Each structure stands twice: as C-alpha cells, then as structure tokens.
Amino acid sequence: SYVLTQPPSVSLAPGETARITCGGNNIGLKTVHWYQQKPGQAPVLVIYYDSDRPSGIPERFSGSNSGNPATLTISRVEAGDEADYYCQVWDKNADHLVFGGGTRLTVL
C-alpha cells in the first residue's frame, strides 16, 4: 500500500519559517492535503488540493507539491501554530485514503 513519510518533529523560533515535508512514491502525481491537530482537539484542514487554503486559514499557511516531497510551509511561525501536522492523499489504485505519520511542530 501507499506510504507517506513525514519527519517526526520540527522545532524553530517564533517568526521563522517552518517547512514540513511529506514524501511518497511519485507524490507529485497525487493531490496532497494537510491537517493541523492541536493537543486534545480534532484535526483541522489547513491545505487542500496541494495549495488551496480553506476559509479562515491564515495566508501564512501554504502548500506545494511539484515533486518529492510535498511541503507545507508556515511563515512567521507563532506559538499558536504548535501542533501535529498530517499530510494525506488518496491512493486510487487501492481506493484507500492514506495519512502520513504526522510531524510535531514545536515553537521554541
């Protein structure tokens, strides 16, 4: 089955730019979506269709998928961005929805 690989953790200071990667076989041929999950809360969609932002998501959040890996970029990171971030694709060969293992973003 299709596997998505994310780094377990990313740490940086406030104001810096976070880049969270999501690797997978020929991922550039797939559509990638990203979720933010804060402790004790349900996930929230932050990027869909590789780079689109749902209403209410700050412009600081952006996505790209021009090859391996796909990337979620968070500009000018704030303490409130501390969360687990998950990438996700649809594996049409298996009709199976796949999540990456998640990346914990820590703002120092």
C-alpha span between 38 and 107 (Å, rounded): 13
**Least distance (Å) between residue 51 CB and other proteins:** 12
CA distance 66 to 77: 23
Minimum CB distance to other proteins smaller for 69 or for 100: 100
DSSP class of residue 52 equals B
Q: HSE on the CB side for 49, CA within 13 Å?
A: 3
CB of 14 to other proteins, least distance (A): 26
Binding site for other proteins (CB under 8 A): 1, 30-31, 33, 35, 37, 41-45, 48-49, 54, 84, 86, 88, 90, 92, 94-102
Closer CB to other proteins, 37 or 73, in the complex: 37
- Pick the closer one to other proteins by CB: 33 or 77: 33
CB 89 within 8 A of CB 98: yes
Least spacing, CB of residue 20 vs other proteins, in Å: 14
Cβ-count burial 12-32 (b if 16+ within 10 Å, e if not): beeeeebebbbbbeebeebeb
Give whichever of 29 and 108 is closer to other proteins, judged by the CB atom.
29
